[in-house]
Chain A
Amino acid sequence: MTPLLSVRALTKRYGPHIGCADVSFDLWPGEVMGIVGESGSGKSTLLNCMAGHLVCDSGQVIFDTRADGPTDTLTMSEPARRMLSRTDWAFVHQHARDGLRMGVSAGGNVGERLMAVGARNYGDIRDTAIDWLGRVEISETRIDDRPTTFSGGMQQRLQIARNLVTGPRLVFMDEPTGGLDVSVQARLLDLLRGLVRDMGLSAIIVTHDLAVVRLLADRLMVMKDGHVVEAGLTDQVLDDPQHAYTQLLVSSVLQV
């Protein structure tokens, strides 16, 4: 089997400061990888480099494309990369505002990716939008409302629907539950777990919340000062941490 994503020696510096250094791993189809660490550990930098939002200094991000098989996305042409990011890739931002068009209705937000890849039947687009709003537990009656009238949790669910509507093969998530109330977080996590299971999604989730990875991630990478200090199966890492930093992280935060 070919890995869906192979990251090789990815490095990004901010002047003399290390963003992330020499990160390598494989992500297999259907697998969810969690990346944990404190703020400033380099996990968001890593995610943004992989997704092409940040230009990294060196390394490879090889994605198993449908057409040409494994291809380094960092050296891909911009049209090809942008096409990838609106079809096979999805990116869920921590702040729903960054990932939604706030001036466009919920239906338009969900429909945009469909229209971007050529959907031209209004009725079909709308039906798909209704279906997806249902899947993320947003009432059909809100389809013509703008996200500005939604609660934080609803906005985040809408962002997820907007991202998943084209059936992406890889989803990047940046602190998807950050900034939400605890009760709202629980509902969102539950929903995400259902979607990941039902759709067989491959995902990379960056979070500082170990509860999130415990629930969603098959494997885990722990980052500190831009370096991966420990990696392994989620339960293994959380229940039997080897690295001193991971032990500290687990003992201080983990209460699942």
Chain B
Amino acid sequence: MYVAVKGGERAIDNAHAWLAEERRGDTGVAELTVPQIREQLGLAVNRVMAEGSLFDPDLAALAIKQARGDLIEAIFLIRAYRTTLPRFGSSLPIETAHMACDRRISATFKDLPGGQVLGPTFDYTHRLLDFKLAAEGQVPPAPVAEAPAGDVPHVTSFLNREGLIEEAVPEDRIPPDLTREPMELPADRALRLQSLTRGDEGFVLGMAYSTQRGYARNHAFVGELRIGAVAVEMEIPELGFAIEIGEVIVTECETVNQFKGSKTEPPQFTRGYGLVFGQTERKAISMALVDRALRWKELGEDDEGAPAQDEAFVLYHCDNIQATGFLEHIKLPHYVDFQSELELVRKLRREAGAAFAAMQEAAE
């Protein structure tokens, strides 16, 4: 006799035990430590912090270890942890103008105050596998230069002085917090930027690339890309002034984009903006391009029907935690829905069969 399947609980426990074993791998090989991941897989850690919306390299490294290197899984762990943290308040906006830059380049000016600083970049490496890395080895120390004195000015501020680029007017309003309030469309720029900065790197990259290939092309130049540490300051009501509570590393990208101007406004460059936790420049540049594409309405541009211009499309689909959850949920049992479809298709086929038979009979 048929007995209904049971034992979901034991199956789950067993699966978890096996997973833990697989995570560890061959015990003859030394176990990875969290500091090793933090120090040696820094860009993975950066991505997890950026898309997890939590600046904590140790927790990100732990998440990567726990997720067996699956970065989206690691981001998920961080997000699920982050959301349980109490929110004490908001910091002052970080001042990227005071950034201690590790890297600072401009594609629009050959030289400029503060100079071009390449920093630790893959840009001009030849992508040849370095077999020396397969063996352990010492790395010769990199040459050290004097840190430049004073702040490195933003490139767009030079253009701004001449009125060549649109004014980015500061707003006093505290922007809505995407992690505490539901997304509501139409979204203002602050909300769009929040969504993009934690959006999936691959998705945002693909969207940005599509604008370059002509789907809402916006002729972007990297006005400036800077990476480095900035202070986080918070106003403490009891103290009555702001104090520095820590430091985060961010990547900031400002693009300079073309703008035709109109009869009432002289031609002027426009801006796209990207700001992402950690050294994450692919993401920051992509974000700036997509930000610019999404601004078509406020800049009075045409809706070309391009995906990158479609706010609902971009914002509702860039979150990889939402996307992967919903995608993977189709693995869950759906036999109730499937059964109801099965019955319906059988019924329709039965009727179609009867109608066909009747037609044949009539023809004979």
**Chains A, B in direct contact (C-beta < 8 Å):** yes
Which residues of A are interface residues toward B (Cβ below 8 A)? 15-17
Which residues of B are interface residues toward A (Cβ below 8 A)? 262-264
Residue of B nearest to A17 (CB): B263
Interface pairs (6), CB distance under 8 Å: A15-B262, A15-B263, A15-B264, A16-B263, A16-B264, A17-B263
Note all chain B residues with C-beta closer than 8 A to A17.
263
Task: Give Cα A16 to B262, complex, Å.
Answer: 11
Task: Give Cα A16 to B263, complex, Å.
Answer: 8
Nearest chain A CB to B262's CB is how many angstroms away? 7
Q: Which applies to chain B's interface (DSSP): helix, strand, loop or mixed?
A: loop
Nearest chain B CB to A55's CB is how many angstroms away? 15
Nearest chain A CB to B89's CB is how many angstroms away? 40
Note all chain B residues with C-beta closer than 8 A to A16.
263-264
Residue of A nearest to B265 (CB): A15
Note all chain A residues with C-beta closer than 8 A to B263.
15-17
Residue of A nearest to B262 (CB): A15
Ranked 3 nearest A-B pairs via Cβ? A15-B264, A15-B263, A16-B263
Residue of B nearest to A16 (CB): B263
Nearest chain A CB to B355's CB is how many angstroms away? 15
Task: Give Cα A7 to B262, complex, Å.
Answer: 31
Note all chain A residues with C-beta closer than 8 A to B264.
15-16
Task: Give Cα A15 to B262, complex, Å.
Answer: 9
Task: Give Cα A15 to B300, complex, Å.
Answer: 12
Task: Give Cα A17 to B264, complex, Å.
Answer: 11
Task: Give Cα A17 to B262, complex, Å.
Answer: 12
Task: Give Cα A33 to B329, complex, Å.
Answer: 58
Note all chain A residues with C-beta closer than 8 A to B262.
15
Task: Give Cα A15 to B265, complex, Å.
Answer: 11
Residue of A nearest to B300 (CB): A15
Task: Give Cα A213 to B106, complex, Å.
Answer: 62
Task: Give Cα A67 to B208, complex, Å.
Answer: 52
Residue of A nearest to B264 (CB): A15
Nearest chain A CB to B281's CB is how many angstroms away? 39
Task: Give Cα A245 to B264, complex, Å.
Answer: 30
Task: Give Cα A14 to B263, complex, Å.
Answer: 11
Task: Give Cα A17 to B263, complex, Å.
Answer: 10
Nearest chain B CB to A23's CB is how many angstroms away? 23
Residue of B nearest to A14 (CB): B263
Task: Give Cα A83 to B262, complex, Å.
Answer: 37
Nearest chain B CB to A56's CB is how many angstroms away? 19
Nearest chain A CB to B300's CB is how many angstroms away? 10
Nearest chain B CB to A43's CB is how many angstroms away? 22
Task: Give Cα A15 to B264, complex, Å.
Answer: 8
Task: Give Cα A189 to B264, complex, Å.
Answer: 43
Task: Give Cα A15 to B263, complex, Å.
Answer: 8
Task: Give Cα A16 to B264, complex, Å.
Answer: 8
Nearest chain B CB to A16's CB is how many angstroms away? 6
Note all chain B residues with C-beta closer than 8 A to A15.
262-264
Nearest chain B CB to A256's CB is how many angstroms away? 38
Nearest chain A CB to B234's CB is how many angstroms away? 44
